[in-house]
Amino acid sequence: MPDTRVRRAVALTTGLVVLAAALAGAALLSLAVGSQHVPFGTVLEALVHPDDSVRDSLIVTEVRIPRTLIGLLAGLALGLAGAIIQAVTRNPLADPGILGVNAGAGLFVVVGISVFGVTSLTGYVWFGFAGAALASVVVYTIGSMGRGGATPVKLAIAGTALTAALLSFTTAVLVTDVQTYDQFRFWQVGSLAGRGMDIAKQGTPFLIVGVVIALASARLLNALALGDDVATSLGQNIGVARLVAAAAVVILCGTATAMAGPLVFVGLVVPHVARIITGPDHRWLLPYSMLLAPLLLLLADVLGRVIAQPGEVQVGVLTAIIGAPIFVALARRRRLAEL
């Protein structure tokens, strides 16, 4: 038995190394491919010795590095958030939006544009993050009321109800304010284009905190997966465990949504793919989700730049197109029914 565990640990560790290498390759591809192709040699030269007088070097440093970095950050955040929310709610069909994150962020961005006149992505980040965080807190508070505390079913119902309400308010503002709608729709579709390093710098501190909380909650999530009664018998405080996990989801998904807009299916599909590789142990599931999600996001972004040249298809559209059939295929697997 110990030998089996050691071999499994070695295999999973090797898999993480391979995934990290693949992610590095996807990042390099993201820096080179676009409406203006940049040779890989020039990309490497721009990374080591940037020269603003050279057009290709300027494209890499000023446009594609921020875009790629935001893709990496938003992807790892959504992957972790998706794995956590599926564990907390014990619902394999759950995604981060179940806590009202996307709806809350969307409403606050609309308010920022319509009421406060925000026109920059930098402003969207703060309004989006605040809305996502507030919506998640409201959902958790409502879901905690009554007997049994914040049960998976109550959280899902509260999240769905609040999302419907927030979307109604958002729509009401947009249909009466054409100018706000014109600005909001570019954020709403989900995109990595046009984001600068200032967006990445603002989001990184939040994501670091969220990643630390998420990875530290792996054992708590393993206990929750066994059921409330078993987790309690193992000495876990169910309320505290769910609160810690929910805090990680708020920080991770709220920041990612504020940075790149609502990117669908990333947090929903990736944990299932990771679970096929690692099994239900969140000590491995979380790191795999953290690497697989940005890999999917960057490859989808690169594909979007290639298929519609000289324009591009926004990554939010591609993740939906790619994610939907993958999820349908995963849903047909027997393993999904065993979650």
CA separation for the pair 62, 68 (Å, rounded): 11
Question: Percent of the chain scored above 70 by pLDDT?
Answer: 94
**Tens of pLDDT, residues 111-141:** 888 888 887 767 777 888 888 888 888 887 8
Contact between 131 and 105 (Cβ < 8 Å)? yes
Q: In terms of Cα–Cα distance, which of 155, 174, 44 is closest to 89?
A: 155
**Tens of pLDDT, residues 167-199:** 899 888 888 888 888 777 777 777 787 777 888
Q: Which residue type occupies 15? A: G
Determine the average pLDDT of the residues in 38-65: 84
What is the predicted pLDDT for the residue at 331? 62
CA separation for the pair 211, 226 (Å, rounded): 23
Bigger pLDDT: 22 or 44?
22
279: left (phi over 0), alpha (psi -120 to 50) or beta: left
- 71-75, 152-156, 216-220, 240-244: least confident range: 152-156
Dihedral angle computed from the Cα positions of residues 25, 26, 31 and 36, in that order, rounded to the nearest 10 degrees: 110
What is the predicted pLDDT for the residue at 289? 96
**Tens of pLDDT, residues 209-249:** 999 999 999 988 988 877 777 777 777 788 788 888 888 88
CA separation for the pair 68, 65 (Å, rounded): 5
Is the per-residue pLDDT at 338 higher than 60? no
Buried (b) or exposed (e) across 114-138, using 16+ Cβ within 10 A? beeebeebeebbebbbbbbbbbbbb
Contact between 81 and 271 (Cβ < 8 Å)? no
Is the per-residue pLDDT at 336 higher than 50? no
Determine the average pLDDT of the residues in 268-296: 93
**Tens of pLDDT, residues 245-276:** 888 888 888 888 888 888 878 888 899 889 98
Determine the angle formed by the axes of helices 65-89 and 238-260, rounding to 10 degrees: 150
Record: fold of 2-337: ABC transporter involved in vitamin B12 uptake, BtuC (1.10.3470)
CA separation for the pair 260, 73 (Å, rounded): 10
| Other CB atoms within 10 A of residue 60 CB | 24
Determine the average pLDDT of the residues in 58-68: 89
Q: What is the mean pLDDT of the chain?
A: 84
